[in-house]
Every structure is written in C-alpha cells, then in structure tokens.
Structure 1
Amino acid sequence: MDDLCLRMLDRFQHDLPICAEPYQAIAEELGCSEEDIFQRLEQLNQRQALSRVGPIFDHSVAGASTLVALAVPEARIEQVAAQINALDEVNHNYLREHDWNLWFVLTGPNRAHLDQTLIHIQQQTGLTPLDLPMLTAYQINLGFALGKDSQVPS
C-alpha cells in the first residue's frame, strides 16, 4: 500500500465529501487525480481489503433497524446466507462460531416493515430469527490511525 492509499484511507474514514463529485473532492484534497483515487480503491477492492465506500446513516432518523441471528445447520450455511444476502433490507451479514451462527442487520423504513421481513425470512428458510432490536446507542469512533500524520480523531 503506497503513501497516497494510506493518506486516502486515513483521511476519509470519516467525513466523506457529500457533493456531486466526491472522488474529485478527495483527489483535490490529497493533491492527486481522481483516476489515482479510483485506482487505489480498485486495488483495495481486488485485495478484498475494502468492503464498502459510503455513508452510515443513523437508523433512528433514516428508518428502523435490528440485529438478527439465525441458528443455521452447517450443511445449509451457504444456501441460507445467499437467501439472506438477496434481501434489500440486509447488510452486515456475518458467520459466527455459535449455535446462533448467522448474524445480520435488517434495515427498513419502519418497524412494521422489519417485522414483515422477519416473517418472510422464517417462511423462506424455515428458521426462526432471533430479533435483537437496539435499546441504546453507544457512539464509538470506529477509525484507525494509519501513519504518523494521522487525521483520525483519538
């Protein structure tokens, strides 16, 4: 990973520009071309070091969300994970070492929509979802300092 890539990741873990040309704005701030930014993002993507680029919305303002777990028989993991991943409401899908082994976040416009999605998941998979709605949000700074001149708040 070169210096430009480290600076890009360090600087834009937070406060991604919200404008018509965000990658151009990133490039201007870092003193490079937009193509340089696209190349670094593509390299990170090819190395599977980047999961996504985009905003994180406060679910309580933008709609509703809940954490869900399924106890999936080992022989069905790939099949059920594919069914879950196909749903527009699903993000953050993870396999865990536990009886409740498939964990994901459901998001939607309201709680009623989530409830309908949970019913759909149960009907589709034959498995009963464990619904774990958030009671209290605790804000953390999920940022990592990358380099001696890091701009990530500590």
Structure 2
Amino acid sequence: MDDLTLAIIDGFQHGLPICANPWQAIAEQLGCSEQQVLQCLQQLEQQGALSRVGPVFEHSRAGASTLAALAVPPGRIEEVAARINALPEVNHNYQREHQWNLWFVLTAPDQAHLQRVLENIRRDIDLPLLDLPMLTGYRIDLGFPLGQRSRVPV
C-alpha cells in the first residue's frame, strides 16, 4: 500500500471533515490534490477493500433502526441479498455461516416506517425473518491503526 493510501485510511477513520468538500479538506491536510485522494479511494473500492466512506450516526437520534436476519436457502442467497440491498432503508448486509445466514441493518425515519419495511420483506421474500432491535447501546470507537506513526487510538 502506498504512503498516501495509508495516510488516508489511517488518518480519516475518525474525524472525517464535515464540510462542503471533504475530499479537498483531506487533500489539504495531507499535502496532495483532491484528485489524488479520490483516485486512492476509487482504487480501494475497485480492489474490494473499501465499501463505504461516510459518517456513522447515532441511530436513535436519526429515526428507527433494527438488526434483522433471514434464513435463506443456499440456492437463493444471491437473489435475496440483491433484493435486500435494493431497499433504501438497508445500510448493509452480510452473509453468515448459520441457519440465520443473511443479516442486515434497517434504518427508517420512524418505527411505523420500519415496521412496514419489515412486513414487506416478510411478505415479498417469504422466508423466516428475525427482528432484533437494539435494547442497550454500546459505543465502540473502532479503529485500526496502520503504520508506525498511526493517529488511530489503540
């Protein structure tokens, strides 16, 4: 991994600039061009090493959310994952090795909207679904220090 990519990943796991042009702000902090920052991020995405850049919100202040899981037959996993991913309320989903093998997080403006989405999934996908709303929140300030001069707290 080149020095610029390492600096972007390490330096902005926390404290992503909140401004009209965060890529320019990152570039200014790192002494490079905005285009170089964008190229690094695009390369990481193309390599499958990056899936998202953006803030993580306190879900209880942004509406309603839940963790959900489906028990999907192996032959349907790709189809069902694609249908789940197509929903605007889905933040991310992932496959697990378990009877409940497709897990995803839903976020909606309010609880009524969230329940409608869950009911639509139950009806349209026609598979067992677990709704696992968070009862107690824990803040995990997760970061991965990279390089010897990392700014990420351990």
TM-score bin (small chain): over 0.9
Aligned length: 154
Match of 1:17 in 2: 17
Match of 1:142 in 2: 142
1:84-95 aligned at under 5 Å gives the runs 84-95=84-95
- In 2, distance between residues paired with 1:89 and 1:120? 12
1:147, CA displacement in angstroms?
Answer: 0.7
TM-score by length of 1: 0.97
- In 1, distance between residues paired with 2:152 and 2:9? 10
Match of 1:110 in 2: 110
Which runs of 5 or more structure 2 residues have no equivalent in the other structure?
none
The amino acid across from 2:121 in the alignment is I
Q: CA RMSD in A?
A: 0.8
Contact 2:85 2:92 in 1 (8 A): no
Match of 1:63 in 2: 63
TM-score by length of 2: 0.97
What SS does structure 2 have at the residue aligned with 1:91? strand
Match of 1:125 in 2: 125
Match of 2:50 in 1: 50
- In 2, distance between residues paired with 1:120 and 1:135? 23
1:153, CA displacement in angstroms?
Answer: 1.6
Displaced runs of 4 or more, over 4 A: none
1:128, CA displacement in angstroms?
Answer: 2.8
The amino acid across from 1:55 in the alignment is P
Match of 1:34 in 2: 34
- In 1, distance between residues paired with 2:135 and 2:75? 33
Contact 2:71 2:127 in 1 (8 A): yes
Q: Output one character per residue of 1:32-54: Cα deviation in whole Å (capped at 9) or x when no partner.
A: 11111011111111111001111
- In 2, distance between residues paired with 1:79 and 1:38? 32
Which runs of 5 or more structure 1 residues have no equivalent in the other structure?
none
1:97 aligns with 2:97: yes
Contact 2:67 2:106 in 1 (8 A): yes
